Amino acid sequence: MTKTTLKGLALGLTLPVLLAGTALSQDYDYGSFPDTTLRVKLIGGAQYEPLYAEIPKWEEMTGAKVEVLSRKNHFELDREIKQDIAAGTLDWCVGSNHTSFAPQYGNIYIDLNGVVDEAVLAKFDALALENSTVNGRLVQLPRHSDVSNLYYKKSLYEDQANKDAFKAEYGYDLAPPETFDQFKDQAMFFADAPTFYGTQYVGKDEAITGRFYEMLVANGGALFDEDWNPTFNSEAGVRTVNWFKDLYDANAVPAGVLNYLWDDTGLGFASGTVALNLDWAGWAAFFNDPANSKVAGDVGIVRAPKGVGGKRAGWAGSHTFSITETCDNTDAAVSFITFLTDHDRQMIEARKGLLPTRTQVWKDVKAEFEAEGNDFQAEVVDTYSLSMSEDAFTPPLIEPWIEVSNEIWPRLQAAILGEKTPQEALDEAAAEARLIMEDAGYIN
Amino acid sequence: MARTPRSSYKTRLALTPYLLLAPAFLVLIFVIALPLVFSLYTSFTGYRLVRPDSLWNWVGLRNYERIFTDWDFWVAFGRTILFLAIALNLEFIFGLGIALLINRITWGQRTLRTIMMFPMMFSPILVGYQFKFIFNDNIGVLNNALQSLGISDAATPWLVDRNLAMFSIIFAEVWMSTSVFAILLLAGLFAMPRDPIEAAKVDGCSPLQVFRHITLPFLMPFAFIAMTIRSLDVARAYDIVDVMTGGGPAGRTELLWTLIARVGYDNSRMGQANAMAYVSIILSVAFTYYFFTKLVAARRYMGGAA
């Protein structure tokens, strides 16, 4: 049987599943709101836009109009929302939100429990809904999620000379890393600065705090104890900082890594000059596209490594939609966010590599990739599905999280650059974090 | 006692100037004075952006006391002065050079003047991204060029090294804004009378002497106007720095406004951020006063009105 026939057969088997999904989404009654104009503030950016192209369909179904007041990146949107809170101008209904940002906003958003149809909520991944809950209130409906796994350049691991040399130097077989210690060994082994690097990491802002946090947890540590006392200046914390510092000192990461954010790490791996890259699923298609990437066809993926605590890194969050308490037409707003997160809309985003929050979409998008013969993307779906269900955890869902993060990351940088010892840096950050937690009323 | 029509007319006549000026005063009060008074008030409160009721939480001088013991703030303050001094001087030197060169051109001058203004037309955020990728140590254009040309075999960490990071940001700032100086100085050159120069040439002055004793003193008032405008801009530098380094790594490129924006918006501590902003205004006032003093001196030297 030819490959084409197999693909056709697979597509034939998949099609009823997809059609069933479509039928399910059309079963939902989105209501009729002919005289309503819904004012919304949405996150903007290339990967978010395809979903917004669907908005006219909801307008056509319900007779409502959508007025988009903002379409900015999340940090700018966060500032705008804070200004709205300060100025008392929350005269809009639906806003993009994020699990890491939501706790800051107090009670400006309604509890969606009892407002969104229970049958609809039942279709979402339970962990994604749990992570969207702040102080027992479901303040956001998850749109897509985010967790990191490890991309690697396959040819490096298939090369016999590499295998022999690695075994001789480190005493174990060369295979994609299962632990952060192996990750560090392999990154140092492959590095040949300045033309090739073992790995790279995001080096500033909440990005490096998040990486530090997930490795801290994987190494058996915690940011806070149960009474919200900062505990990240522990042995596990120092061990985690040393992982970043050792790689930096060994030139196994680019020298400018402390200024890197997500675009830099993604483009760096796609440039073919990096062996291992812990990153989110949104890059998978880009990495495997010959038009954009020099590693296309040579990319492997495994779950994020484990720390010495035996746990895998799994810093996760979700992009979400929320409805304001001041909204003048909650029913229309609920209909709108239900539409934007329904099966078909999530399929649109999942095809681009974004992680769905509805369980059925995981299955359907994988079936679609398999039917197209896109084995790499199917493997990506499998890997991320597993890490979302088994490894994912959020940062503490507390109001001062971003503020605490802003005390941690400059000190992580200082430790990596050798301006402070890891213990000094973490002790300083913990002392500042304690003040913030005291000010916020978490510590008496 | 009833007013006579004549006294009523006189009163109206006396009030007319105030009535005519009232719209301007009202605009000034609502657009400038009230926001200033409000932000000054908030600097004495524990105002947090996400808790509007904290606006009434009066903390007296606590925010200011914190600032005066905050070493990071004063390091950022000093670094902003250094940044401002270097950027303004470089922009002046390059702007003067460009203006003198363009002034010599007789064909295509208008086109060149337009091209010269291109960098000013970009948003500072775009300029920040442009230079962030030029100075990227791994995939950046600069390092790749240096390596390909055999000038260097190292990946220079332009945006991480303590000195190079500041250099990179100053480079971006100078690239974007040198044309402000060039345009103003070119306007000065166009307005310059030819007689003193021709007289000096007849008297046997060298081109360098003409430039040193006639052209440059004539241009200095224009230069000080440009410096006043640019010092206010640079003292508030934020976009380029935020995009290129975010004030890091480890605070190595932290300037006043990257720090203030983080405290005010990311940390939501607007009361403390406003206190920082009021202290930092000292910087703008000091530079403006200094440049105005120099402007008056330069005009007096040229025989103009003080």
Distance of CA B115 to the CA centre of its chain: 22
Q: Does A406 touch chain B (CB under 8 A)?
A: yes
How far away is chain A from the Cα of B133, in angstroms, using its nearest Cα? 9
DSSP assigned state of A194: T
Residue A305 has pLDDT above 90, yes or no: yes
Contact A410 B248 (CB under 8 A): yes
HSE at residue A197, side-chain half, CA atoms within 13 A, is 28
Is A107 near chain B, with CB under 8 Å? Answer: no
Q: What is the pLDDT of residues A243-298, one digit of tens each?
A: 999 999 999 999 989 988 888 899 999 999 999 999 999 889 899 999 999 999 99
| Residues of chain B above pLDDT 70, percent | 97
The answer to whether residue A93 neighbours chain B at the CB level (below 8 Å) is no
Query: Which pLDDT tens digit goes with each residue over B161-218?
Result: 989 999 999 999 999 999 999 999 999 999 998 888 899 989 989 989 999 999 999 9
Q: Helical H runs in A298-354?
A: 330-340, 343-351
Q: How many other C-beta atoms are found inside a 10 Å radius of the C-beta of residue A322?
A: 28
Is pLDDT above 60 for A57? yes
- A419 phi, psi to nearest 5 deg: -75, -25
Number of residues written out for chain B: 306
Q: How confident is the model at residue A383 (pLDDT cuts 50, 70, 90)?
A: very high
Return the pLDDT at A19: 42
Q: Give contacts of B153 with chain A, Cβ < 8 Å.
A: 194
> With an 8 Å Cβ cutoff, is B35 touching chain A?
no
The whole-chain average pLDDT of chain A stands at 91
pLDDT at B209: 92
pLDDT digits (tens, 9 = 90+) for B51-75: 888 899 999 999 999 999 999 999 9
CA distance B281 to A185: 51
Q: Do A254 and B138 touch (CB under 8 A)?
A: yes
Residue of B nearest to A81 (CA): B50
- What distance in Å separates residue B250's CA from the closest CA in chain A? 5
On whether any CB of chain B is under 8 Å from the CB of A45, the answer is: no
Q: How far apart are CA B281 and CA B274, in angstroms?
A: 10
Instruction: Find tokens 């802003």 and name the residue.
Output: A406
- Mean pLDDT, residues A346-356 taken together: 92
Among candidate residues A52, A51, A15, the one with its CA nearest the CA of residue A356: A51
For residue A323, the surrounding DSSP H or E stretch is: strand A317-323
pLDDT band at A318 (very low <50, low <70, confident <90, very high): very high
How far apart are the C-alpha atoms of B276 and B283, rounded to whole Å? Answer: 12
Tokens encoding B62: 């606590």
Q: Any CB–CB contact under 8 A between A242 and chain B?
A: no
- Is the Cβ of A198 closer than 8 Å to some Cβ of chain B? no
Of A264, A399, A402, the CB nearest to B136: A264
Among chain A residues, the shortest Cα distance to B164 is held by A256
How would residue A198 be classed by pLDDT, with cut points 50, 70 and 90? very high
Q: What is the pLDDT of residues B154-177, one digit of tens each?
A: 888 999 998 999 999 999 999 999
* Both structure tokens of A132: 């969207």
B52 touches chain A (CB under 8 A): yes
Sorted by sequence, the CB contacts under 8 Å of residue B32 that are 6+ apart come out as none
Q: Residue A204 is nearest to which of B136, B158, B249, comparing CB atoms?
A: B249
Tokens of A66: 């959508």
* Inter-chain CB proximity B52 and A88 less than 8 Å: yes
Cβ contact, residue pair B249, A264, below 8 Å: no
Structural domains of chain B sorted by starting position, each given as residue range(s) with its CATH number in brackets: 70-301 (1.10.3720.10)
Mean pLDDT of B266-284: 91
Contacts 24+ apart (CB under 8 A), A288-296: A288/A376, A288/A377, A294/A270, A295/A153, A295/A269, A295/A270
Nearest to A410 among B139, B244, B250 (CB): B250
Cα A336 from Cα A42, distance rounded (Å): 13
Of B51, B153, B159, the CB nearest to A259: B159
A294 contact B CB<8A: no
Query: Nearest Cα to A149, choosing from A123, A183, A125?
Result: A183
Eight-class DSSP state of B157: -
Chain-centroid distance of CA B33 in Å reads 22
- Measured CA to CA, the distance from residue B100 to residue B105 in angstroms comes to 9
A59/A32 Cα distance (integer angstroms): 10
Contact A413 B250 (CB under 8 A): yes
| Cα–Cα dist A433/A62, whole Å | 48
Domains of chain A in sequence order: 3-147+316-390 (3.40.190.10), 148-314+398-439 (3.40.190.10)
Q: Which helix (H) or strand (E) holds A41?
A: strand A37-43
CA-nearest of B187, B212, B214 to B198 is: B214
Closest-CA distance, A389 to chain B, in angstroms, reads: 31
CA distance B235 to chain A (A): 22
Size of interface A-B (CB pairs under 8 A): 100
- Whether residues B160 and A402 touch (CB distance < 8 A) is answered with no
Token pair for A418: 């050798």
Q: How many CB atoms lie within 10 A of CB B120?
A: 14
Q: Is A320's Cβ below 8 Å from some Cβ in B?
A: no
- Put simply, the answer to whether B139 touches A399 (Cβ < 8 Å) is no
Angle at B99 between CA B97 and CA B105, to 5 degrees: 105
> DSSP letter at B165?
H
Q: Tell whether B231 is within 8 A of chain A (Cβ).
A: no
List chain A residues with CB under 8 Å of B266.
402-403, 406
Give B17's contacts (C-beta < 8 A, 6+ positions apart): none
